[in-house]
Amino acid sequence: MENFTDLLGDITFYLSICLPFIFFIKFRNNGLAYRSFTLYLLVVAIIQVGMKLYVAHIDPTSNLLFFVYYFVLQFILLSIFYKKLLTFKWVLWVMIGVLIFIGYQYYKDPQMYFRYNPTGVVVTQSILVLYSLLYFYRQLITKGKFLIINIGLFFYLLSSMLIFSSGNLVFNVDISKEVLSLLTNTNLVLYFIFQILILLEWYINYSGFNRKNKNGFLNFE
């Protein structure tokens, strides 16, 4: 089991690096939603590489200082993503309000920079899950883009929020190794599924590989 999770961890790491390059292929040909999601993938890739290098060369015990960049930048870029999809102006005001709240958290307690922030996770990811639900409802009325990505975001954000938002659960030294392993492995599997759905979205709707020409053959242009 340990070998499997190690392999899956390596796969998700390298997929995180590959995904933004794949999406950058069509970056100029698509609008704000596509571009903001592509930048989100790029941020994830940079943070993943940064964490790996930090643990390997600086501090092998903790990489929590990257956490604030991850969940804040995720919230900003995915808020812009859903603002474009939902066309609700209030999404930007919610984003600004949440960023002020999180900024105050770290201003009041600078040591939080080196700790897990469960409140920040709950607030930002619950809002993103709400946006995802609203977009599901929008899809019932009018057909739009990014349905597959929205499905992946909904289940990944919801599950990871439930797993990691219960205080400093994952980073609690008193928690048993079995429970810790179960939580982290579950999150890893869900993240891998999310990555597969991202690839599927790109292949179906943006790659051009699945389009047929007038003779009924696949068009690979």
Domain boundaries, the chain: 2-207
Average confidence (pLDDT) over 156-174: 67
Phi, psi dihedral angles at 219 (to 5 degrees)? -105, 115
The conformation of residue 114, written as its DSSP 8-state character, comes to: G
- Percentage of the chain lying above the pLDDT 90 cut: 57
Residues 6+ apart with CB under 8 A from 215: none
Are 131 and 79 contacting, i.e. CB atoms less than 8 angstroms apart? yes
Which tens digit of pLDDT belongs to each residue from 61-120? 777 888 899 999 999 999 999 999 999 999 999 999 999 999 999 999 988 888 888 889
Q: What is the pLDDT of residue 173?
A: 46
Q: What is the pLDDT of residue 180?
A: 63
Mean of the per-residue pLDDT values for the chain? 86
Secondary structure element (H or E) that encloses residue 218, with its range:
strand 218-219
**Three-state SS at 43:** helix
Secondary structure element (H or E) that encloses residue 137, with its range:
helix 118-141
Enter the tokens of residue 11.
């796969």
Q: What is the pLDDT of residue 64?
A: 80
- Percentage of the chain lying above the pLDDT 70 cut: 86
Residues 6+ apart with CB under 8 A from 117: 67, 68, 71, 102, 105
Report whether pLDDT(30) > 60.
yes
- Rounded to two decimals, the pTM is 0.88
